[in-house]
Chains A and B, each alone.
Chain A
Amino acid sequence: DQQVKQNSPSLSVQEGRISILNCDYTNSMFDYFLWYKKYPAEGPTFLISISSIKDKNEDGRFTVFLNKSAKHLSLHIVPSQPGDSAVYFCAASPKSFSGNTGKLIFGQGTTLQVKP
């Protein structure tokens, strides 16, 4: 039961253009969402997050959009740079009675290639 899905295994964009990575989720109990970037044989690096009470969060070149009614979130990278080439994971945190805990449900990842 894949509760968090990234349906595009890979994405290729030209340097300077926009990269849009998508993520869908099925569980309405998720209330916090995060994006991570990962290189092979390394741990994921936190990029940006968004709470379910917001629909947009921006940090430099990275913007995350959340559409709760569609259970969909996306990460926009503008402008894309060759150094952005990596695997991107979206993750969701389930709500609990004690607040969010240290449990994340990850999507399968999207490999982004930014061509010079």
Chain B
Amino acid sequence: KAGVTQTPRYLIKTRGQQVTLSCSPISGHRSVSWYQQTPGQGLQFLFEYFSETQRNKGNFPGRFSGRQFSNSRSEMNVSTLELGDSALYLCASTEYNEQFFGPGTRLTVL
């Protein structure tokens, strides 16, 4: 099976812009989770989607949103970007309690 794929791998945006990141889970996995990794805060849970519904949400502002499509692919959107949003954004798909991560999207906000 192919692994979790994320696009794009790198992004550079400026403050105030918005960005959309995409994730395709492992075939057959219905749960997709998103995480933000920063040097100061480590890996932090953003939200999880299961069967097109948000099942869990972390402690992030409403500027961070997501959705999942019927084929389980997921997108994450960040509006009104801030410098502090610069991070590695990781997507993971879950099967039997085990999460498998994609390579991440490195977002730089200037």
A: contact size bracket: 20 to 34
Residues of chain B lying within 8 A (CB to CB) of residue A100: 97
**Measured between alpha carbons, how far is A105 from B58 in the docked complex, in Å?**
10
Residues of chain A lying within 8 A (CB to CB) of residue B104: 41-43
A16-24, A44-52, A60-68, A75-83 - interface stretch: A44-52
**Measured between alpha carbons, how far is A9 from B103 in the docked complex, in Å?**
23
Which residue of A is nearest B31, CB measured?
Answer: A102
The 8 Å CB contact of B43, one of A42, A45, A46, A89, is A89
Q: Does A34 contact B (CB under 8 A)?
A: yes
The 8 Å CB contact of A42, one of B56, B97, B103, is B103
1/0 per residue, CB under 8 A from A, across B50-79: the answer is 100001101000000000000000000000
B57–chain A nearest beta-carbon distance, Å: 9
State whether A104 touches B33 (Cβ < 8 A): yes
**Measured between alpha carbons, how far is A32 from B90 in the docked complex, in Å?**
21
The 8 Å CB contact of B56, one of A34, A45, A51, A103, is A103
State whether A102 touches B98 (Cβ < 8 A): no
The 6 closest A-B pairs by CB, nearest first: A43-B101, A106-B43, A102-B31, A102-B48, A102-B33, A102-B94
